[in-house]
Structure 1
Amino acid sequence: MRTNGQCNNISRAAIRYAFHDAAAYSSKTTFYLPAAGGADGSLLLSSTEINRKDHDGLRDYHSVLKSKFNQYKAAGYPIGAADLIQVAGAVGVLACPGGRTGIVMVGRQDTTQAAPDGLLPQAFGPGSDHNTILQLFVDKGFSARDLAALLGAHTTSIANFQASNGIPAGTPQDSTSGLWDVNYYNETYYPPAGIGRFDSDINLSANMSRTAVGYQFKSFVGLPAQWGASFASAYNFLSLLGVPRSVKSTMQDCTTVVNAAFPS
């Protein structure tokens, strides 16, 4: 997951894939077992979910992860798809120098049922405005500060499927896309040459009212420790979206094992 000491496209895909599996959740959807969307492995196990447009750019990684999952199962390892997705995402973060994920838990329940559609944020067009995205995340249980912190993962983002929105393939969202740092926050406001910005990020960062995302977004400019702590907390919450309380009580902490992949 590292190339020349920096995180690479496999790391980026692992982070994004973990987000997409977990974030397809809303407290407003009907609950169904074993989860309710959320971190339930459906992105890997469903035959249809990965084909949604939201997941453009993730299908190659999906094939790699599915192959790994099948290998582990064939070898007799009692590993779940949901856990594999989230552990891989956490390792992807740690592969980026400066990365921090907080507590990593395992013991989720899997489902082959596709998650509800329409629950992931849109980078451009309808649904990319501040209020729509903030409400989408409030319905998942996040605050404006949580959302601002999660957006910081775009520090390693490289856009490959936004040419129709004016961003050429291979364009990063900050000038140090191989590092886990806070350059993204300031560069969203003052983009240097060669940086691409999503409309959603511009819209979220621009709203400076005290209850808005932009107020929190700006608070992370130049402050990696504050962002790191907020991101770790929000990312841990994200990784458990949709997991029933009865299941959470039986989960196990594997943070030490995950951190050993890329010791700080």
Structure 2
Amino acid sequence: MAFRTLSALLLAIATARLTSASLTKRVTCPTGQTTANAACCVLFPILTDIQANLFDGGECGEEVHESLRLTFHDAIGFSPSKGGGGADGSIFYFDEVETAFPANNGIDDIVDAQTPFINKYNITAGDFIQFAGAVGVSNCPGAPRLEFLLGRPKATAASPPGLVPEPQDSITSIPGPIRRCWFLARRGGGLAGFISYILRSHSIAAADHVDPTIPGTPFDSTPGIFDTQLFIETQLRGVLFPGTGGNTGEAESPLRGEIRLDSDALLARDSRTACTWQSFAVGQANLQAKFRAAMSKMAIIGHNRANMVDCSDVIPVPKPVVGTPHLPAGKTMNDIEQACATAPFPSLTADPGPATSVPPVPPS
């Protein structure tokens, strides 16, 4: 009896070791890197190329900001009733149609920048757009390492108009198809997932076309760092106004050199979202987790995860966040406009020195 028990135990141990070995087995690619799946080997030459020639040697700069924006604008073009294939690269294959949508103003610049790379490599535009976004984000300190799944088919039709939210949209004014994607995000990660889903790029972004007279204007004071400053600085007291040159969705920021969108300011103050917004003010780990989960869902809108190959191990690991949550120089807690009804805004100290202007993000 004891012998049988020992034999069963040894068999269980051997099986566990074999299973563990199969799960950790690595494939060595022709380029020398290793990955869990041979299908992912095609990505390493692309990774090297875009880091050097699209992202300026691995910087968290303008091309990263715009590549991240493109992941959203391509993927969100999906509606069960109106059509659209989601994250399928249609914004590349049908660029003359989709770049003309008002909400896609200025997106043609990054489409043009990525076109030579898409044409150079044997992956679809849908895969390239999401891969470039994930790689670009990895250049920003404080960002999570994003998931990347390979296997999106080529788009067969353009996305219908009206599916991409605009800067002046509030929760209630977001078009019906966008609300459906919002509820999709809520089922996957709650309201916090939706907020990080919509605003993920504003922490590491600058506006070129919201107000064309001030290109390169950042949304927060640390556009090269994936941190929580957006959720602090948007809560500073400011004045909403309808914008210039029509309803651009621009709101007055209390920080010189910084731009604020109506949609951001309203989300920060709406009773339905204010407490969730506030939860990110000092919640770096929470923001990272929610952002990664929301991006994972967004990046495969219109596709079946079971039909795709997980190549997440190709994405570089980002550096840790730089700095800690703080008020900008010259501000105090009295400048915070409390909006959450159930919890006070976290107590923060300000950077030393007098108030300064936030510098613009230089073009690539």
TM-score clears 0.5: yes
Letter in 2 for 1:197: R
Change (3 A) 1:5 1:91: closer
Say which of 254, 273, 278 aligns to 1:218.
278
Are residues 1:189 and 2:242 paired? no
Unaligned 5+ segments in structure 1 are 31-35
Say which of 235, 253, 265 aligns to 1:202.
265
Alignment partners' CA distance in 1, 2:274 and 2:154: 35
Runs of 4+ in structure 1 over 6 Å off: none
Q: Deviations over 1:56-90 (max 9, x none)?
A: 22212211211111111xxxx3x111000100011
Are residues 1:39 and 2:87 paired? yes
2:296 corresponding residue in structure 1 = 236
Alignment partners' CA distance in 1, 2:302 and 2:127: 13
Alignment partners' CA distance in 1, 2:205 and 2:319: 22
Q: Quote how far apart the aligned CAs of 1:25 are.
A: 1.6
1:33 corresponding residue in structure 2 = none
2:10 corresponding residue in structure 1 = none
**Bigger shift: residues 229-238 or 38-47:** 38-47
1:156 corresponding residue in structure 2 = 204
1:131 corresponding residue in structure 2 = 172
Alignment partners' CA distance in 2, 1:38 and 1:259: 25
1:49 corresponding residue in structure 2 = 98
Give SS of 1:98's match. coil
Q: Give the number of aligned pairs.
A: 242
Change (3 A) 1:101 1:213: farther
Q: Quote how far apart the aligned CAs of 1:138 are.
A: 3.9
Alignment partners' CA distance in 2, 1:178 and 1:37: 32
Say which of 162, 169, 176 aligns to 1:118.
162
| Native 8 Å contact 2:90 2:159 kept in 1 | yes
Letter in 1 for 2:316: N
| Native 8 Å contact 1:17 1:85 kept in 2 | yes
2:328 corresponding residue in structure 1 = none
2:60 corresponding residue in structure 1 = 7
Letter in 1 for 2:260: R
Alignment partners' CA distance in 2, 1:202 and 1:8: 24
Alignment partners' CA distance in 1, 2:124 and 2:147: 18
Q: Percent identity, aligned pairs only? A: 30
Alignment partners' CA distance in 2, 1:28 and 1:160: 33
Q: Quote how far apart the aligned CAs of 1:112 are.
A: 3.9
Say which of 167, 170, 183 aligns to 2:216.
170
Alignment partners' CA distance in 1, 2:125 and 2:57: 30
Change (3 A) 1:158 1:202: same
Change (3 A) 1:83 1:220: same
Q: Deviations over 1:183-208 (max 9, x none)?
A: 00011111433211000111111112
Change (3 A) 1:50 1:147: same
**Bigger shift: residues 80-89 or 40-49:** 40-49
Alignment partners' CA distance in 2, 1:68 and 1:102: 21
Say which structure, 1 or 2, has more relative contact order (CA 8 Å, 6+ apart): 1
Q: Quote how far apart the aligned CAs of 1:173 are.
A: 0.3
| Native 8 Å contact 1:205 1:213 kept in 2 | yes
Q: Deviations over 1:94-129 (max 9, x none)?
A: 1111121432111111214111110111102xxx12
Change (3 A) 1:101 1:138: farther
**Bigger shift: residues 224-233 or 188-197:** 188-197
| Native 8 Å contact 2:164 2:178 kept in 1 | no
CA RMSD of aligned residues (A): 2.2
Give SS of 2:307's match. coil
| Structure number with larger C-alpha Rg | 2
Q: Quote how far apart the aligned CAs of 1:233 are.
A: 0.2
Q: Quote how far apart the aligned CAs of 1:169 are.
A: 2.0
Unaligned 5+ segments in structure 2 are 1-50, 237-253, 321-364
Alignment partners' CA distance in 2, 1:241 and 1:227: 21
TM-score, normalising length: structure 1:
0.84
Change (3 A) 1:154 1:162: same
Change (3 A) 1:49 1:137: closer
Say which of 185, 205, 208 aligns to 1:142.
185
2:119 corresponding residue in structure 1 = 70
